[in-house]
Amino acid sequence: MKIEEKLTAAVVSGLKALYGQDVPAKDVQLQKTKKEFEGHLTLVVFPFLRMSRKGPEQTAQEIGEYLKANEPAVAAFNVIKGFLNLTVASSAWIELLDDIHAREHYGLTAATPQSPLVMIEYSSPNTNKPLHLGHVRNNLLGNALANIIAANGNRVVKTNIVNDRGIHICKSMLAWLKYGNGETPESSGKKGDHLIGDYYVAFDKHYKAEVNELMEQGMTKEEAEAASPLMKEAREMLVKWEAGDPEVRALWKKMNDWVYAGFDETYRMMGVSFDKIYYESETYLEGKKKVLEGLDKGLFYRKEDGSVWADLTNEGLDHKLLLRSDGTSVYMTQDIGTAEQRFADYPIDKMIYVVGNEQNYHFQVLSILLDRLGFEWGKSLVHFSYGMVELPEGKMKSREGTVVDADDLMAEMIATARETSGDLGKLDGLTKEEAEEIARIVGLGALKYFILKVDARKNMTFNPKESIDFNGNTGPFIQYTYARIRSVLRKAAEAGITLPDTLPTGIELSTKEEGLVQMLADFAGVVRQAGTDYSPSLIANYCYDLVKEYNQFYHDFSILREENEAVRLFRLVLSAEVAKMVKLGMGLLGIEVPERM
């Protein structure tokens, strides 16, 4: 039983014995004692003054005396105004550590076949360019969120919607036809997504040149853009694609397949995966059908030009376009179609969309429209809205080719980790393969942690140099502490020391040791809170706080050299549990931890 539960039960008994009142456990408020006061947990006594008919200090004193006499877990107490600070006995902390030690997946709740089914959509790439830094934040947040939601006892389906149709895709296709000379990923030695991205940039370059030329001939910018032969050809290609032209469709499939092979490689390196991938080319017609059904039911209306709209003024919003006058669909229509397909595929209880905050309005509207169309989870859909990520140099633009490519970024992080770890002597004595694996784990861990430790709602600047630092709130600092603990445990095993299932009692713990056990016990609450708030950063910062605290303990106390055997075993089990919690916490974030370093 948790210490909080034990103390709550004792307070309930005490109130009955002292004042003859039955108080529900939920009315007993225990919180961590503030650092400036002595004690571990503080009881707020103000709610009980009516029954004690005494002042706050006297009431706190009476409850404290009762607990000290009747609950072995309470070693001492002190009263500060209406707050009763309780010092928990060493025996109770040892018992708590035993309980944590016995549970391999402490703090995580397994799903059952009856658990709610939560679907999480993330990544959502376009097939006209490789994944970039913005996608990295999206994928890492989506993957971590899926792990955290699953750790809270839900069944989770991870999905991706690929934007594989539209004018931007036709731009890359047209540029490849015009300037590609049949180039393939094999002939160029480039990943398919990079190759197609180059043609997207090439289209923009030629298009801008055309526009400039037309402007020099006396046209305005708008006229030149409308008259551009290249853009006209791209639009014609899109019309052919929508009509199912076999030649255009064959080219589209070939180029998309190149891109998917490239994406798969990036996802593998990033350590993210999906249970089901949807394609907009397959969902947009479904969306059109659903919108027309809504039109027949009087949920939407048609304008004179043939376009279909939703009137959202009752919800305090405006009118929203759902089908253009030429019958082509917009993003909203596609999202409705995708929702229809997903609902047919899975009995979804909750739907979470991981999409940047520039789409807040879109998801507000989508929620209303899905609810109108009868989707049970429409009203309660969650838009996990996150801020933009930039580099110290500033914003990125894919058309101009100034985007920070995800593959290049990961390769650079691994190279920097290799160099930094080598300089610090952390790869000494390792084989080339081992050193390479550690560089990969540390480089990617630095990237993931730096992005995930920031509150997702905030815009952030990703600083590669700052992220690979073996001191401070970084992934490598946490990974190094984990490897250090594993080294201590290996030495213990070599010395023939086996960790016991149950720790010896009767030892007095230091404040630092008690604090560490309390922090370990907090892990379950942090996982719960991260699930409720959709906040991976809570887990990232918990891991950092835990290792920071452990490093001070490691610095101040002997572990293997401790002469008292019972104390030595306690410290080894404590170390093992810190390592376990770090591995579990970092695992939820999708970050690996190295066994040696």
How confident is the model at residue 399, as a pLDDT? 45
For 262-321, the DSSP string reads HHHHHHHHHT---SEEEEHHHHHHHHHHHHHHHHHTTSSEE-TTS-EEEE-GGGT--EEE
Sheet holding 155-162, edge to edge: 276-279, 155-162, 117-121, 350-356, 382-386
Task: Report the pLDDT value the prediction gives residue 226, as an integer from 0 to 100.
Answer: 87
Backbone φ and ψ of 356, nearest 5°:
-55, 160
Q: In the prediction, which pLDDT does 421 show?
A: 87
pLDDT of residue 1: 60
CA distance 302 to 309: 6
The two tokens of residue 253 are: 């499939």
Residues of the chain with pLDDT under 70: 1, 394-402
Q: Coil, strand, or helix at residue 278?
A: strand
pLDDT digits (tens, 9 = 90+) for 96-107: 999 999 999 999
Helix (H, G, I), strand (E, B) or coil at 165: coil
Residue 463 has what pLDDT? 85
Is residue 57 a contact partner of residue 82, using CB atoms and an 8 Å limit?
A: yes
| Greatest distance between any 2 Cα atoms in the chain | 96
Rounded Cα distance, 94 and 499, in Å: 14
Structure tokens at 146: 């899926």
What domains can you pick out in the chain, each with its CATH number?
Answer: 3-88 (3.30.1360.70), 166-273 (no CATH), 406-588 (1.10.730.10)
Q: What is the CA radius of gyration of the chain?
A: 30
Average pLDDT of the chain? 93
Taking CA atoms, 553 is separated from 101, 480, 574, in Å, by 19, 15, 11
Cβ atoms 240, 380 nearer than 8 A: no
Q: What 3-state DSSP class applies to 7?
A: helix
Tokens (6 digits) for 173: 């296709």
Residue 501 is encoded by which pair of tokens? 């299932």
Classify the C-alpha dihedral 351-355-358-362 as positive or negative: negative
